[in-house]
Structure 1
Amino acid sequence: MITILTRKIIAASISSTVFAIFLGFVLPNPFGDGNISSFPNYLLSSVTIIPVYMVYSFPAIMIYGVVTSIISDKVGEFISVKAQEKKAELIVSGALHIVFGLILFWFSLGASILFFITDRIMKIRNNKYKWMDSIKSLAIPLLTWLICMGFVWWTDSFLS
C-alpha cells in the first residue's frame, strides 16, 4: 500500500504540473479581458495564468485524484481477480478514472486522464518508490510555480 501511495503522489505532482501548463497554453485568457493578439501577449498571458491554474488544480489532484485513483485501482484489481482476466484491471481502472474525472466535466476529465496515463507509465516502469521520492516530487509543481511567478514579477518590474 505504501508503494502505491508514493507512486500516486509522484503521479499527482507530475500530472498536475503538466495539466496546469497545458491549460495555461490552451486557455491563456479564461476571463476574456486583455489583448492576446500577438505571440508575446499570448505567451505572457499563458505564463501568468499557469500559477493560478496550479493553485487550484494541484490540491484537487493531490487529494481527490490520489484517493479516487487508489479506489479505481483497487476495484480494478478486485474485478480482475474475480474475472480471472488481467486486462480487466486496466479497463475497469481506466473507466473509473473517467467516471471520477467527470466531477467538473472537461477540466477534471482531462486531469484524470493525464493522471491515469502518468500513473500507468510509472507502474509499467515497476520502480519501488519511497516516501523521500514522493516528497522530492513535490518540487516539480513548486519549481514550476516559482519560475512562472518569477517571470511574472520580472515582466511587471522591467517591461512595464
Structure 2
Amino acid sequence: MGISQMFARKVIAASISGSLFAVVLGLIVTDPFVGEAGSAGEYFRGAIISIPFYLLYSFPVILIYGTLTSAVSDLLAFFISNHTNRKLELYISLILHLLFGSILYGLSLGAAVLFFITDYILRRKQFGSWRNALKSLGLPVLVWIVFMGGVYVMDASLLK
C-alpha cells in the first residue's frame, strides 16, 4: 500500500473516529457548562447540546494531528519492525499511537485509541482511496447537522 492510500485511509479513520469520539464524549460528559443532570431528560438534552460543540473543536484536531501522528506511528513501526521482528509492527504502532495521544491525558488518549482501532479495522478491510476519503468527510458534517437539528427541535419545543 502506498503513502497516498495510507493517508486516504487515515482521513477515513479520522472522519469515523472523530465523529464517534464527539458522540461518546457527549454521552459521558454532558453539557460541561451546566453540571450534572437531574433527570434522564436533562441528561439527553445536555448530550444533544454538547455533541456538536465537541465535534466542532475535536474533529479538526483529530483530522490534522491524528492523521499526521498516526501516519508517523505506522511508518516508524514499519521501519522498526523491519529491523527487529515483523510481528511487532502492530504493537509498536499501538505504543506510538498511545504516546502521541497522551498529550491531553484522558481525552486525547481516548481519541488516539479510537483512531487506532478504526484505522486497524479499515486496514484489514482494504479501504484507502481518496474518493472514499473525501466522501467520509461528510460523516462529521452529517453528525453535526443531526445533533444541531436536535438542538433546534428542543429549542422550538421550549418556545411553545
Asked if these proteins are the same fold (TM beyond 0.5), I'd say: yes
| Residues 102 and 108, structure 2, Cα contact 8 Å, conserved in 1 | yes
| Number of the residue aligned with 1:108 | 108
Shift of 1:35: 6.2
SS at match of 2:97: helix
How far apart, in 2, do the equivalents of 1:30 and 1:86 lie? 44
Counterparts of 1:1-160 in structure 2 under 5 Å? 1-31=3-33, 33=34, 36-83=37-84, 85-127=85-127, 129-160=128-159
Shift of 1:36: 1.6
Structure 2 gap ranges (5+): none
Shift of 1:25: 0.4
Deviations 1:118-159 (A, max 9, x none): 0001111123x2111101001111000001001101111123
Shift of 1:34: 5.8
Shift of 1:41: 1.0
How far apart, in 2, do the equivalents of 1:93 and 1:64 lie? 16
Shift of 1:104: 0.8
Instruction: Output the amino acid matched with 1:21.
Output: V
| Residues 14 and 62, structure 2, Cα contact 8 Å, conserved in 1 | yes
Shift of 1:93: 0.6
Instruction: Output the amino acid matched with 2:48.
Output: V
Change (3 A) 1:64 1:35: closer
Q: Which runs of 4+ in 1 moved over 2 A?
A: none
Change (3 A) 1:3 1:74: same
RMSD, matched Cα: 1.1
Structure 1 gap ranges (5+): none
Give identity over the alignment, percent. 43
SS at match of 2:45: helix
What is the TM-score of this pair, normalised by structure 2?
Answer: 0.94
| Residues 31 and 49, structure 2, Cα contact 8 Å, conserved in 1 | no
What is the TM-score of this pair, normalised by structure 1?
Answer: 0.94
How far apart, in 1, do the equivalents of 2:99 and 2:9 lie? 21
